[in-house]
Structure 1
Amino acid sequence: MVITKAKGKRQKAKGKRQKAKGSFVLPTPHTPHPTPHTPHPTPHNFPLITDN
């Protein structure tokens, strides 16, 4: 009986998760893009200091 109840709850969660994933997938990839840009300037500063 417990397994049947869990299965019913799991199906509902999956349905809600799929909808959220579709909406979240778009905004999620946009955020990681700007993140890699920040690390780029970091390595450039290192060589600049060495040149000085």
Structure 2
Amino acid sequence: MTQSVLCEVNSCKNWEQGNKCTAELIYVMSLDNKQSSEIKETGCKTFEPSAS
């Protein structure tokens, strides 16, 4: 489990109470496949919907 990665998306299967991310690997990508210069131009490819 990653120790210092926080996530507020509680609908992700890797989300844990306290906004902790339990994914073994975090994959962040550019949303438009170009060089990103702002947070809003990136997205978390690691997201998977939780079962609940």
- TM-score, L = length of structure 1: 0.18
Q: Rg: which structure is higher? A: 1
Greater RCO, CA 8 A, separation 6+: 2
| Higher relative helix content | 1
- TM-score, L = length of structure 2: 0.18
